[in-house]
Amino acid sequence: MWVRLWRDPVWRAVFFQVLLILGVVAVVAWVINNTLTNLEHRGISTGFDFLSQSAGFGIIQTLVEYDESQSFGRTFLVGLLNTLLVSFLGVIFATILGFLIGVARLSSNWLLARLASTYIEIFRNIPLLLQIFFWYFAVLGVLPSPRQSINFFDAIFLNVRGISLPWPILDSGMEIVVWAGIASLVLAMGVAGLCRNYRRTKGRPLPHIKVIIASVIIGLPLLTAWLTNAHLQWEMPVLRGFNFSGGLVILPELAALWFALSIYTAAFIAEVVRSGIESVSKGQKEAAAALGLKPRRVLSLVVIPQAMRVIIPPLTNQYLNLIKNSSLATAIGYPDLVSVFAGTTLNQTGQAVEVIAMTMAVYLTISLTVSVLMNLYNRWVSLVER
């Protein structure tokens, strides 16, 4: 009877799976049990109560209001926002640089193509951490002190404490202008949609449409600025004592991380872009040219739409890598999620399990959300084959 059950694949599968579940449960129970005893011996309490306790340490860059008296929970938010900031900046810069280099790699100019591939081969084969250190210690760390700042037009100052830039002051009039700018963009998008529809039904484009859209985007904010009599004012960085105050200061930690992340990721994005463009077969371009499309239209109507289908999934992967790699911030002290929360907060509270679990959960949520969106996108753009 047992032998017969053993030879039945269905029963055997059930048996193995039950065994696996029991094994996993046993290991997890063992680990939990050990952890609880160990924590008890070290006198560390469990649970998430520590999140409401006062943190008592300062953070050098905060996007939301924060001071030492606020809670550990608040440090989580501050760290998370700093991670998102550097990731956002990095994604934008890496995309621009990556696309430029990817296209340059395919240029018919031999020198340009060689230089682009040299860039790719150098930067993707050197560890990111080393590149971050290079920017932080060897480039930004040897800049002069604030008093001897490198000065661009008396507005931008480069020194060892960071980069000081002028920053616009938004008074009430200016705020209306900004809103008008956003409204004009929305309006322009609506107009563009209408004329696309017009062209699709009537078969010919609306005349002067580009001029109309441009005048909406530029004209509406200008008009409101004139009506409300608002002036754009800039807060300039000024040297006070030993440091600059006023304006926007980009910390050297942020700048080093931003440059290194963008330059490293751009090398990978360039390869993605190159393979995407190469994936569009030559026949497509020739057919488009035979239909009388000009080279620019061939690129924008035939090559790019097809290349993007190939480019976007691996491109998203590179963005995810960039977000995960931003955690290297902790090595140079940029206050990101890992550095602030899994670093300082963990050391102060000793709540290793809870802190690491929360940190991992953040990255996991970002990754899984993006991959779900990616799957939807893939289904949306995938070729419908007969």
Partner 1 sequence: MEQKMIPAREPPVNSRGILGWARENLFASPSQSLVTLALLYGLYLFIPPFWQWAVMDASWTGSSRSDCTTEGACWAFVTARLDQFIYGFYPDSEIWRVNLFFAQLAVVLGWLMIPRIPGKKMALVIGLLVLPVTSWLILTGSLLGLPPVETHQWGGLMVTLVLALYGMLASLPVGVLLALGRRSSMPVVRTFCTAYIELWRGVPLITVLFMASVMLPLFVPEEIVFDKLVRAMIGIVMFQSAYMAEVVRGGLQAIPRGQVEACQSLGMGYWQSMLLVVLPQAIRLVIPGIVNTFIALFKDTSLVLVIGLFDLLSIVQAGLNDPQWLGSAVEGYLFAGFVFWLFCFGMSQYSQRLEKH
Helix axes of 172-202 and 209-228: crossing angle, nearest 10 degrees = 160
Output 19 or 287, the one with its CB closest to partner 1: 19
Nearest approach, Cβ of 330 to partner 1 (angstroms)?
6
- Strands 156-159, 243-245: pairing is unpaired
Residue whose entry in the numeric block shows the structure tokens 């990721």? 265
Residues numbered 140-169 forming contacts with partner 1, rule: CB under 8 A: 141-142
Count the residues of the shown chain that bind partner 1, applying the rule CB under 8 A: 53
Whichever of 129 and 176 has its CB closer to partner 1, that residue is 129
Pick the closer one to partner 1 by CB: 302 or 328.
Answer: 328
At residue 383, the 3 state secondary structure works out as coil
CA 87 from centroid of its chain's CA atoms: 3
In Å, what is the CA distance from 29 to each residue of 19, 24, 34, 263?
A: 15, 8, 9, 45
Residue 127 binding partner 1, by CB under 8 A: yes
Alpha-carbon gap, residue 136 to 138, rounded angstroms: 6
Closest distance of CB 371 from partner 1, Å = 8
Place of tokens 């409204």: 183
129 or 206: whose CB is closer to partner 1? 129
H-assigned helices in the chain? 2-7, 9-42, 72-105, 110-123, 128-133, 172-202, 209-228, 252-278, 282-290, 295-297, 304-325, 337-339, 346-349, 352-381
Q: Could you say whether residue 380 binds partner 1 (CB under 8 A)?
A: no
Is the Cβ of residue 137 or residue 179 nearer to partner 1 in the bound state?
137
> Which among 72-80, 197-205, 248-256, 351-359 is the span making contact with partner 1, rule CB under 8 A?
351-359
Binding pattern for the stretch 308-327 against partner 1, x by CB under 8 A and - elsewhere? ----------------xx-x
| DSSP tag of 333 | T
Nearer to partner 1, 144 or 205 (CB): 144
Q: How far apart are CA 337 and CA 358, in angstroms?
A: 10
- Please report the DSSP string for 12-67 in residue order: HHHHHHHHHHHHHHHHHHHHHHHHHHHHHHHT---SSGGGGSB-----S--SS---
Q: Is residue 363 a contact point for partner 1 (CB under 8 A)?
A: yes
**Integer Cα distance of 173 and 182 in angstroms:** 15
Q: How far is the CB of 33 from partner 1 (least distance, A)?
A: 9
Strand, helix or coil at 234?
strand
Nearer to partner 1, 20 or 218 (CB): 20
| Nearer of residues 24 and 189 to partner 1, judged by Cβ | 24
Closer CB to partner 1, 54 or 109, in the complex: 109
In this chain, which stretch among 145-153, 180-188, 199-207, 352-360 interacts with partner 1, using CB under 8 A? 352-360
| Interface residue with partner 1, options 215, 243, 316, 330 (CB under 8 A) | 330
Rule CB under 8 A: choose which of 143, 185, 212, 356 binds partner 1. 356
Q: How far apart are alpha carbons 384 and 386 in whole angstroms?
A: 7
Q: Does 299 bind partner 1 (CB under 8 A)?
A: no
Binding test (CB under 8 A) with partner 1, winner from 112, 176, 206, 312: 112
Which of 106/360 has CB closer to partner 1? Answer: 360
- Number of CB atoms found within 10 A of residue 41's CB: 8
CB 264 within 8 A of CB 258: no
Name the phi and psi angles at 150, rounded to 5.
-80, 130
Does 89 contact partner 1 by CB under 8 A? Answer: no
Interface map 5-44 toward partner 1 (x if CB under 8 A): --------x--xx--xx--x------x--xx-xxx-x---
What residues from 166 to 225 belong to the interface with partner 1 (CB under 8 A)?
Answer: none
Q: Which residues bind partner 1 (CB under 8 A)?
A: 13, 16-17, 20-21, 24, 31, 34-35, 37-39, 41, 108-112, 115, 121-122, 125-131, 133-134, 137-138, 141-142, 324-325, 327-328, 330-331, 338, 342, 346, 352-353, 356, 359-360, 363-364, 366-368
